[in-house]
Amino acid sequence: MIRKLISRVFGGKKAAANHHEPAVIPVSGHGITRDRISSGSRRVCETLQAKGFKAFVVGGAVRDLLIGAEPKDFDVATDATPEEVRAAFRRSRIIGRRFQIVHVMMGQETLEVTTFRGELGADTKKDEHGRVLHDNVFGSQAEDAARRDFTANALYYDPTTEAVIDYHHGVGDLKAKTLRMIGEPRARYREDPVRMLRAVRLAAKLGLIIDPEASKPIREMAGLLENVPAARLFDEMLKLLTSGHSVKCLTQLREAGLHHGLLPLLDVILEQPMGEKFVMLALANTDERIRRGKGTSPGFLFATLLWHEVLAHWEKIKAGGEAKIPALYQAMDTVLDVQGEKLAITRRIAGDIKDIWALQPRFEQRAGKRPYALLEQPRFRAGYDFLVLRAQAGEIDMEMADWWTRFQNVDGDKRAEMLLPEAAGDKKKRRRRKKKPANGDVDRGGDE
């Protein structure tokens, strides 16, 4: 009570925002009929409402439907507690420790059901820069709306009435193609610096302009990203790079001065003339794949982002007298040690990245049995795609990539014809090995 009173006196604007009446927009005003939402989310809302709770589809899904985009997933917000949600659905489980959410399984769908979050209070735990550490108080729907980041993300859709409930003029902002922060942008960035990245990503993905009030402070506040746990940055970075709009996102990140604290070595990479071309090509390629509904792997993506860093280290280590392949492995480790820690690249992804890098020198060997062995590598496809990018960026000769394109596609006889002559030393070694196990007739035939 006292807290509310104080915030009403001192934080008039925020308190007013939290407690005003929402606009209730009927279907005639927005056109989203209930068949547009997934059957699972509809059933979750209906079941909870039948038990007397409030329940809405919320967030990105409503926003995407309003601008005619296909929602990625449908989240539900409710005033039922996690235990109450859990009790309402047989196939459900509570996840998360600090702020519990419930996963409800409906056929093939898994719905994320969240209990309305409450206002941040004076007792909210924050780090020394003002970043909110614990956020686990339940609240009213109005408070839940005020806790969300952008007005377009604070929309609630009721499948029963087909109304959109709009606390912060989100529908109007969307119509005006504006991404507007709820509350005071600087304060909201301080609470959670990742919102700066979300602003850039959502604006790029949805074709919105970030409201100047929200875009202005980004440059000077970008440094706050350094205090965000690496794992969270990694997740957000991955969302950004796999949004299908990564080139636009990256361009805007640079304009906003945001790539500094984020991918610290990206500055260096982008400033190398070859590096920038390579990264941009790789991202354009990824965007294209995603828009065509093809998958992409985080390993491949990060392998491209860090490749020129590897090249630079590789050169240096070779110049120090190390042999080619050991030098490459050392360079890979150095780059992954530095970036892996900063970005919380998981071990599994780091393994994928290394596989792709380590295959690269093997594409140079186009004689004898080695090309066949390379084709059989489980990571061949990723390694080859990577090789093509390097060629397109002008780092290596296109002739080599073309050779591998043909080598994969032609049949056995033609393949053998494509092989380059072995270097003299190599030839002797390989012949000797080959002779031993092989049956003479077959071997002679194969040598032609």
| Active centre residues (catalytic) | 73, 75, 149
Paired tokens of 151 = 């007005």
**Alpha carbon distance 66, 64 (integer Å):** 5
Residue 195 contact, options ligand ATP, Mg ion, none, Cβ 5-8 Å cut-off depending on partner type: ligand ATP
| Distances 412 to 366, 376, 383 between C-alpha atoms, Å | 15, 14, 22
Residue 148 binding target from Mg ion, ligand ATP, none, CB below 5 to 8 Å by type? ligand ATP
Draw the binding track, 175-214, toward ligand ATP (x: CB under 6 A; -: no contact): -----------------x-xx--x----------------
- Which residue in the set 34, 86, 148, 245 belongs to the binding site for ligand ATP (CB under 6 A)? 148
Residue whose structure tokens are 């606390």: 167
Give the residue, chosen from 22, 59, 217, 371, that forms a contact with ligand ATP under the rule CB under 6 A. 59
Smallest gap from residue 193 Cβ to ligand ATP (A): 9
Give min distance, CB of 240 to ligand ATP, in A.
9
Kindly tell me which residue out of 119, 143, 149, 309 binds ligand ATP, with binding defined by CB under 6 A. Answer: 149
Long-range Cβ contact pairs of 23-28 (< 8 A, separation 24 or more): 23/165, 23/166, 23/167, 23/169, 23/171, 24/163, 24/164, 24/165, 24/166, 25/163, 25/164, 25/165, 25/166, 25/171, 26/161, 26/162, 26/163, 27/162, 27/163
Q: How far is the CB of 207 from ligand ATP (least distance, A)?
A: 13
Nearest to 116 by CA among 86, 154, 151, 72: 154
CB atoms closer than 10 angstroms to residue 20: 12
Report DSSP letters for 274-288, one per residue.
HHHHHHHHHHHHHHH
Phi, psi (5° rounding) for residue 130? 95, 10
Among 22, 40, 60, 299, binds ligand ATP (CB under 6 A): 60
Query: Which partner from the list ligand ATP, Mg ion, none does 46 bind, CB cut-off 5 to 8 Å by kind?
Result: none
Of 118, 119, 135, which is closest to residue 127 (Cα–Cα)?
135
d(CA 311, CA 360): 11
> Segment near Mg ion (CB under 5 A), from 52-60, 166-174, 233-241, 427-435?
52-60
User: Could you say whether residue 109 binds ligand ATP (CB under 6 A)?
Assistant: no
Q: Which is nearer to Mg ion, 203 or 221 (CB)?
A: 203
Residue 192 touches which member of ligand ATP, Mg ion, none, C-beta under 5-8 Å by kind: ligand ATP
If the CB atoms of residues 66 and 374 are measured against Mg ion, the closer one turns out to be 66
Give the C-alpha separation, 233 to 187, whole Å.
19
Q: What angle do CA 73, 76, 80 make, to 5 degrees?
A: 160
CB of residue 73 to Mg ion, shortest distance in Å: 5
Q: Which C-beta is closer to Mg ion: that of 14 or that of 63? A: 63
Q: Which is nearer to ligand ATP, 114 or 339 (CB)?
A: 114
How far apart (Å, rounded) are the C-alpha atoms in residues 283 and 272? 16
Pairing of the two strands 55-58 and 75-78: antiparallel
Beta carbon of residue 79, minimum distance to Mg ion (angstroms, whole number) = 20
CA dist., res. 59 & res. 156, Å (int)? 7
Q: How far is the CB of 201 from Mg ion (least distance, A)?
A: 12
In the window 238-297, what residues touch ligand ATP (CB under 6 A)? Answer: 239
60 binds Mg ion (CB under 5 A): yes
Q: Residue 153 binds which entry of ligand ATP, Mg ion, none, with Cβ cut-offs from 5 to 8 Å by kind?
A: ligand ATP
The secondary structure element, H or E, covering residue 210 is strand 209-210
Q: Does residue number 72 form part of the binding site for ligand ATP (CB under 6 A)?
A: yes
Selection from 25, 86, 75, 96 nearest residue 51 by Cα: 86
Region from 15-23, 146-154, 222-230, 329-337 binding ligand ATP, contact rule CB under 6 A: 146-154
Tell me the site size for ligand ATP, rule CB under 6 A: 13
Q: Which residue ranges make up the site for ligand ATP (CB under 6 A)?
A: 59-60, 72, 75, 148-149, 153-154, 192, 194-195, 198, 239
